[in-house]
Amino acid sequence: MKDHHSTRPEAPMTHVFSDETHRNLLSRIPQCTGREIADWLRTVDEGPSLFRFEEKVSWLRGEHDLAYGHAKAIVHEYDLRRAARKLG
């Protein structure tokens, strides 16, 4: 049997949520954390220079005691906005 592994690069880790799930998580973060999304995005921006998605998520969780889903949604939003700035 032939091995059918793809030689394409893996999709970025930031694409793990559907858009709807991402929006729902973001909408709950201010109520759950007491901080607005813009504040969390600033926190990521001013935090350590981590490159990998999961490193940023782990840092947010450890440093700010966030739930995994919230940390992931914040980093995903940060990456989306950073990419939009580069394109704009």
What is the C-alpha separation between 27 and 32, in angstroms, rounded?
A: 10
Give the pLDDT confidence of 63-75 residue by residue, as tens digits.
999 999 999 999 9
What is the C-alpha separation between 12 and 75, in angstroms, rounded?
A: 12
Residue 10 in domain: no
Residue 51 in domain: yes
Residue 61 in domain: yes
Give the pLDDT confidence of 14-50 residue by residue, as tens digits.
456 789 999 999 999 999 999 999 999 999 999 999 9
| C-alpha R_g of the chain | 15
Range of the domain at 48: 19-87
Surface-to-core class of residue 69, CB atoms within 10 Å of its CB (0-12 exposed, 13-18 middle, 19+ buried): middle
Residue 41 in domain: yes
Q: Domain tally for the chain?
A: 1
Residue 67 in domain: yes
pTM (two decimals): 0.79
Residue 76 in domain: yes
